[in-house]
């Protein structure tokens, strides 16, 4: 399996499980309807674990353009490698979002709220304010990437060279659990403002799918906000990489 394929599969699983739990909670007539914020956060933690487990041994399981850009800034990957990773992540996110729609299609039809339908694909702030939301996304992603970098030893941060442990996270399969718990914690502590995209592919890919699919009685895809969950996480990831370099220099 190539790095590209691994990132496609891993990100696809991430979105299938992650956006899937959102659909289970917010769409009408599902078994998990009104399951609440705790269920969504737990589902996203599992989504990260499953997606990372699928890609870990081949690509290091970035599954997130902010992680790949942080690796570029820290000098651990080339620009060409990052382009490959991000392209794969976008493809995987789009496929995952399409699968969520196909799986829950009758429930999309049974749901009256156009906002709830959009929430199954992309994020939005509970209180309008793009700059505040940008800050939240940047801080949330910083809180994701810096701890991940600090979990590893500098000798393992060497891009995608083969290793017995994850070449990026340096954690091995069982060590993916702390990353899943980290995402669960970010959702519980920092997710209440924007829904914590903390991943440009996870938000932009499904938002594109929402815009293109023939979803009954859907609203617009909120493109005026779409730049926030893309640029906020990238900035947060870059700052995390710079802080890591300062701490380990």
Q: Is 165 exposed, middle or buried (0-12, 13-18, 19+ CB in 10 A)?
A: middle
3-state SS of the chain: helix, strand, coil percent to 5? 65, 0, 35
Residue matched to tokens 């932009």: 204
pLDDT tens-place string over residues 99-142: 999 999 999 999 999 999 999 999 999 999 999 999 999 999 99
Q: Which residues span the domain enclosing 110?
A: 3-248
Q: Which residue has the higher pLDDT, 178 or 240?
A: 240
Strand ranges (E), 154-223: none
Q: What is the CATH number of the domain that holds 239?
A: 1.20.1080.10
Q: Is the pTM of this model over 0.85?
A: yes
d(CA 249, CA 245): 6
CA–CA distances in Å: residue 150 to residues 69, 77, 102, 183: 17, 18, 39, 15
- Res 49 pLDDT > 80: yes
Span 10-33, average pLDDT:
98
pLDDT tens-place string over residues 79-94: 999 999 999 999 999 9
User: Which pLDDT value is given to residue 249?
Assistant: 81
- Res 170 pLDDT > 80: no
CB burial of 47-80 (b: ≥16 within 10 Å; e: otherwise) equals bbbbbbbbbbbbbbbbbbbbbbbbbbbbebbeee
Per the structure, the count of domains in the chain is: 1
pLDDT tens-place string over residues 139-166: 999 999 999 998 875 444 444 443 443 4
């Amino acid at each position: 399996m190539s790095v590209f394929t691994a990132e496609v599969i891993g990100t696809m699983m991430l979105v299938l499980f992650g956006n899937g739990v959102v659909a289970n909670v917010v769409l009408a007539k599902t078994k998990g309807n009104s399951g609440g914020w705790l269920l969504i956060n737990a589902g996203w933690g599992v989504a990260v674990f499953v997606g990372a487990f699928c890609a870990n041994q081949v690509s290091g399981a970035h599954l997130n353009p902010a992680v790949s850009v942080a690796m570029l800034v820290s000098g651990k990957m080339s620009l060409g490698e990052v382009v490959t990773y991000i392209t794969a992540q976008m493809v995987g996110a789009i496929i995952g979002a399409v699968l969520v729609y196909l799986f829950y299609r009758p429930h999309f039809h049974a749901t009256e709220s156009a906002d709830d339908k959009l929430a199954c694909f992309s994020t939005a702030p509970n209180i309008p304010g793009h700059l505040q939301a940008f800050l939240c996304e940047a801080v949330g992603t910083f809180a994701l990437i810096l701890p991940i970098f600090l979990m590893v030893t500098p000798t393992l941060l060497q891009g995608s060279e083969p290793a017995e442990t994850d070449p990026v996270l340096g954690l091995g399969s069982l060590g993916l659990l702390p990353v899943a718990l980290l995402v669960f914690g970010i959702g519980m502590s920092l997710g209440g403002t924007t829904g914590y995209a903390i991943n440009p592919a996870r938000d932009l890919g499904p938002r594109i799918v929402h815009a293109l699919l023939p979803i009954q009685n859907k609203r617009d895809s909120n493109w005026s906000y779409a730049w926030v969950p893309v640029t906020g996480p990238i900035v947060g990831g870059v700052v995390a990489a710079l802080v890591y370099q300062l701490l380990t220099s």
